[in-house]
Structures are given as C-alpha cells and as structure tokens.
C-alpha cells in the first residue's frame, strides 16, 4: 500500500527524475536511467539540460519563483533513492529545475535574490511516497488508480493551467 507522508529536506538532497515523461517531447531517450544512477552528477547534469529546454518554459517559472518564492501549496512529490537521505522528484521536476537554476545563478553572483525569497528555496516540505508501486507489477495501472498518488496527479492535472 502506498502512503504519502510530509517530510522536510534540503534542496541538495533532491534529484531530478532523468526519466521524466516530459523529456519525450524534447528528444528520444534510448534507455531509462536506473534508480541507482539517478544521483550521479553526469545524469543530473543531463536531466538539468533537458528540463531547462525552452519548450518546457522553466524560465517563466524561475521568474515567478524569484518574485514570490516557492509556495508550498504546490508541493513536490519525492521517492527515496537507495542512498541515505536522497530523494528523486517524481512530481515537480520543472519546479526543482527552476529552483536549482536560481540558486546556481545566485551563488555565481549572476542574480540577486531577496533574503525572504531565498529562504523558501533551500529547504522544503515535500510529500514523500513511502511505498511506491514497483514498475514491473502486472496490476500497476489499477493499483495506481486506487492510490493516493493517483489522486495527487489527477488533482494536479485538473487544476493545472498548463497543457500536458
């Protein structure tokens, strides 16, 4: 049974999903990245390059976050990686990409960020998917539809202003 639990983590504990379905609109990806490679620097660099593709409109999201900060109303959903205290974002990769890009630009001195906004970018409360469904399960679709995770995705899709 899947369960969602609220946790608080630092941004350096979060990793983009290199198998994000949004990437299919950008380029063909031959093989999915296994979970034990997700936190690898090269994998994350490639995932960041993909998420920053102009077609995914992350720059507009960066502008919004830089102005008003990260709002916990639209929480990201994470799953644990095998390495202790590391998590893969399964819902909210554009937001994580925007936040990481903003922090990098701030740390290199390219932009200024108000201290009140900066504090919203370094530590977050997330929804942690405690018992994710195994991808090879035959009953994946039906189990997923009955899960809290499906409800999170469905609600997000219903209230989203963006086309998928």
Per-residue pLDDT of the chain (164 residues; tens, 9 = 90+): 556 677 778 889 999 999 998 888 777 776 889 999 999 999 999 999 999 999 999 999 999 999 988 887 777 888 889 888 899 999 999 999 999 999 999 999 999 999 989 988 887 667 777 655 444 333 333 344 444 544 555 445 444 444 44
Give the dihedral of Cα atoms 38, 19, 16, 124; nearest 10 deg: -110
How much is the pLDDT for 84? 86
Q: What is the pLDDT of residue 33?
A: 92
Chain-centre distance of CA 136, in angstroms?
Answer: 22
Contact status, residue 103 vs residue 11, Cβ threshold 8 Å: yes
CA dist., res. 147 & res. 154, Å (int): 11
Separation of alpha carbons 129 and 97, rounded Å: 20
Q: What is the pTM of this model?
A: 0.76
| DSSP notation for 68-109 | H---GGG--EEEE-SSTT-EEEEE-HHHHHHHHHHHHHHHTT
- Report which secondary-structure segment, H or E, holds 143: helix 140-145
Residue 71, pLDDT score: 80
- Tokens linked to 159: 């209230």
Largest alpha-carbon pair distance within the chain? 50
**Structurally, what CATH architecture does the domain formed by 4-133 represent?**
Alpha-Beta Complex (3.90)
The predicted structure's pLDDT at residue 2: 57
């Amino acid at each position: 049974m899947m369960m969602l639990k609220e946790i608080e983590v630092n941004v350096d504990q979060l990793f983009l999903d290199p198998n994000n379905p949004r990437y299919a609109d950008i380029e063909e990806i031959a093989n999915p990245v296994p979970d034990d490679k997700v936190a690898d620097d090269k994998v994350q660099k490639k995932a960041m390059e993909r998420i920053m593709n102009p077609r995914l409109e992350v720059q507009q999201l960066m502008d919004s976050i830089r102005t008003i900060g990260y709002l916990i109303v639209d929480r990201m959903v994470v799953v644990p990686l095998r390495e202790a205290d590391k998590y893969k974002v399964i819902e909210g990769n554009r937001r994580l990409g925007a936040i990481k890009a903003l922090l990098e630009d701030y740390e290199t001195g390219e932009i200024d960020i108000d201290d009140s906004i900066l504090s919203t970018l370094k530590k977050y409360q997330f929804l942690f998917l405690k018992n994710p469904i195994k991808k090879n399960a035959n009953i994946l679709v039906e189990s997923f539809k009955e899960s809290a995770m499906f409800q999170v995705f469905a609600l997000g899709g219903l209230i989203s202003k963006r086309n998928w």
